[in-house]
Amino acid sequence: MGAALRRPVDYLTGLSFQDNLSDIHAQGQIWIRYRVDVLEAAGFTIRRDGSQTETILPGTSLADIQDLIEPGQRTTLSARFPPGHVSVWTSQPEWLQWFRDENAAKQQRQFSAQTQRLFSLGEYLGQ
């Protein structure tokens, strides 16, 4: 599952999605489509930031995330996203808890309740 909040970079940038499925659809793979109105109703923040340089995780400083940065990882608080990129996240306290819960669940080869909830909001597109 590529949308599990496990990597520090995902914590920093939000979960990444593309706004045009035809650009990334590959035959034989299963894709999950999310509707913006459904995600927003569930409390997610959506930012269409493709082709723009944006501050990642607005309101965060490097000091706030120091313990999430992997050794030797170069980290800045802004990034330029590819065309069609959409960032999705929740409030900062919920986001940090999700990150911690997901990494704990990973040790058990499972997914956190937050990740399971995210997947329940999507529409599965066939192979």
The CA distance from 19 to 58, in Å, is: 21
Question: Residue 119: pLDDT above 70?
Answer: yes
pLDDT digits (tens, 9 = 90+) for 24-68: 555 566 678 888 899 999 999 988 887 776 666 666 666 666 666
How many of the other CB atoms lie within 10 Å of CB of 35? 11
Write down the domain spans for the chain: 8-60+78-125
pLDDT of residue 123: 87
pLDDT digits (tens, 9 = 90+) for 59-100: 666 666 666 666 666 666 667 778 888 888 898 889 889 988
DSSP per position, 29-96 = --EEE--HHHHHHTT-EEEE-TTSEEESSTT--HHHHGGGSPTT----SEEEPPTTEEEEE--HHHHH
How many of the other CB atoms lie within 10 Å of CB of 12? 21
Q: Give 108's pLDDT tier (boundaries 50, 70, 90).
A: very high
pLDDT of residue 1: 44
